[in-house]
């Protein structure tokens, strides 16, 4: 597989960034501050693919309280962003791909406000031609809208793309869009068996 001759699209959390545990802490910090109970990772993760503001609405069922929780969540991210790191080997991978001429983009369930904060901290912006976030879309992953939009913004054919992600919904989104998928299994939150079944 010669990835230098292809277009490589990446998910963010659990793929580029080691951030999912941090995200759980941020969600529960905000939930407790608006008077809600802490939620388990499983309760929160079932809404992944959508931005945090939408996840809070699903968890709380109240628009005003969800908006308040999201602002607290974002403040937590700002105050603790030093906890966010790229996964081991990611910067070297991106350097090598960029040097070889591969074109790269990001499709993430994060809100663009959150992604900007994290990419400014990790200095990943310059690797990518286009960033597509959940607030740019009408339908979240695993719907293919995000992948099709990033391909349009990059003026590339989605069939020439690989999408690298750490969840079943990333694989499903890639296949629905007509892209090839690569399972990112290096994060501790990745569900390898589920992803292998989806790829089979």
With contact defined as beta carbons under 8 Å apart, do 43 and 59 qualify?
yes
Beta bridge partners of 17: 13, 86
Is 138 in the same domain as 170? Answer: yes
Contact (CB, 8 A) for 128 and 104 = yes
Structure tokens at 61: 């069922």
pLDDT band, residue 24 (cuts 50/70/90): very high
Please tell me the pTM assigned to this model.
0.92
* Structure confidence at residue 200 (pLDDT): 62
pLDDT digits (tens, 9 = 90+) for 54-95: 999 999 999 999 999 999 999 999 999 999 999 999 999 999
Residue 1 pLDDT class (50, 70, 90 cuts): low
Residue 102 pLDDT more than 80?
Answer: yes
At residue 5, the pLDDT reads 58
- What value does the mean pLDDT take over residues 171-190? 90
Same domain (yes/no): 53, 142 = no
Q: What is the pLDDT of residues 128-159, one digit of tens each?
A: 999 999 999 999 999 999 999 999 999 999 99
CB-based contact 163:147 (threshold 8 Å): yes
- What is the structure's pLDDT at 35? 96
Q: What is the pLDDT of residue 194?
A: 73
Strand 103-107, strand 130-132: pairing: parallel
Residues 59, 141, single domain; the answer is: no
Reading the block at residue 160, the tokens are 């020439």
Among 41, 63, 82, which residue terminates a domain?
A: 82
Instruction: Give the range of the structural domain holding residue 161, as residue numbers without chain letter.
Output: 3-18+84-199
Residue 186 to residue 184: CA distance in whole angstroms: 6
The residue with greater pLDDT, 13 or 199, is: 13
CA 37 – CA 69 distance, rounded (Å): 12
Query: Does one domain contain both 12 and 43?
Result: no
pLDDT of residue 6: 83
Distance CA 162, CA 154 (A): 14
């Amino acid at each position: 597989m010669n990835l230098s001759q292809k277009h490589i699209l990446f998910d963010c959390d659990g793929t580029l960034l080691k951030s999912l545990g941090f995200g759980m802490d941020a969600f529960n910090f905000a939930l407790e501050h608006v008077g809600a109970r802490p939620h388990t990772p499983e309760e929160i993760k079932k809404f992944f693919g959508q931005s945090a503001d939408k996840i809070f609405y699903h968890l709380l069922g109240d628009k005003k309280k969800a908006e308040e929780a999201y602002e607290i969540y974002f403040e937590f991210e700002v105050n603790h962003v030093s906890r966010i790191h790229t996964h081991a080997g990611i910067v070297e991978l991106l350097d090598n791909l960029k040097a070889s001429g591969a074109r790269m983009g990001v499709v993430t369930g994060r809100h663009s406000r959150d992604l900007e904060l994290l990419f400014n901290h990790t200095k990943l912006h310059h690797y990518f031609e286009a960033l597509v976030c959940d607030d740019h879309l009408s339908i979240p992953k695993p719907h293919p809208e995000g992948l099709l939009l990033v391909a349009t913004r990059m003026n590339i054919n989605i069939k020439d793309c690989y999408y690298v992600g750490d969840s079943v919904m990333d694989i499903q989104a890639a296949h629905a869009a007509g892209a090839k998928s690569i399972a990112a299994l290096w994060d501790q939150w990745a569900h390898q068996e589920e992803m292998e079944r989806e790829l089979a």
